[in-house]
Amino acid sequence: MDGTRLLNSTLLTMGLVVTSIPSNTVGATPLNTLASTVKYDGSIFTTRFLSQNSYSLDKLKFNKQKLKTYKNLKKKWDGYDGDEFDEDVIHIVECILSDLTIQPQVFPTSRGTIQIEKYFTDENFYEIEIGKDEIFAYIVTNEEEIEREVEIEELISLLSNLNV
C-alpha cells in the first residue's frame, strides 16, 4: 500500500473526510472531487462532489481552537452580563463542526450560547445558535426557509442538504 492510500485509509478509519481523485477517472478535476465521511464502524454516511477548497482541516482546527478559548471566558467576559460557556455546549459544537464538510464562522454570544454561521449566497445560508438546552436554526436554501428549534441529528441532515 503506497503512502497516500495508507494515509487516506487511516483518516477514514478515524471518521475524517478524505478527498481524492481516482487515477482511473476520465475528466476528473479538482472541481469535481469526491469526498466521503466514514463513521467509526466503517460505513459511509455521506458522499458528495466538492470544490477543491471545500474541506479544510486547517479551518476545522482553527474553529476548535476558538472553542477552547471560550472555556476561559468568565462571567461578564463581554463587558456586560455575558455568561460563561458550559462544557457541554462546547462539546456539542465540536461534534457539529466535525460533521461539517465546509466550516462555518464560530462566535460566542453573551447568553452562553455559541453561534455558527455560513453564507454561501443570499439564498443559501445558515445561522445556528447552540445552547445547553436547545439548538435554534435559521436556514435558507433557495426558496425554503427554516426557523425553529432542531435536534442535532436533524441539524446535520439539514446542513448537508444546502446547495453549495
> Domains of the chain: which residue ranges?
3-50, 57-160
Residues 46 and 55: beta-carbon distance below 8 Å: no
User: Among 118, 123, 127, which residue's Cα sits nearest to residue 148?
Assistant: 127
Cα distance between residue 38 and residue 153, in whole Å:
16
45: confidence class by pLDDT, cuts 50, 70, 90: very low
Tell me the residue type at 7.
L
Q: Is the pLDDT of residue 132 over 60?
A: yes
pTM: 0.66
* Backbone conformation region of residue 65, classed left if phi is above 0, alpha if psi is from -120 to 50, else beta: alpha
Neighbour count for residue 10 (Cβ, 10 Å):
11
Element (H, E) at 35: strand 33-38
- Residue 74: the pLDDT is 92
Residue 57 has which C-alpha cell?
A: 482541516
Arithmetic mean of pLDDT, 135-142 = 92
pLDDT tens-digit map of 48-106: 444 544 567 889 999 999 999 999 999 999 999 999 999 999 999 999 999 888 899 99
Residue 24 exposed, middle or buried by CB count within 10 Å (0-12, 13-18, 19+): exposed
Q: Is the pLDDT of residue 153 over 90?
A: no
- Residue 55: the pLDDT is 64
Distances (CA, A) of 31 to 50, 59, 85, 93: 7, 19, 39, 29
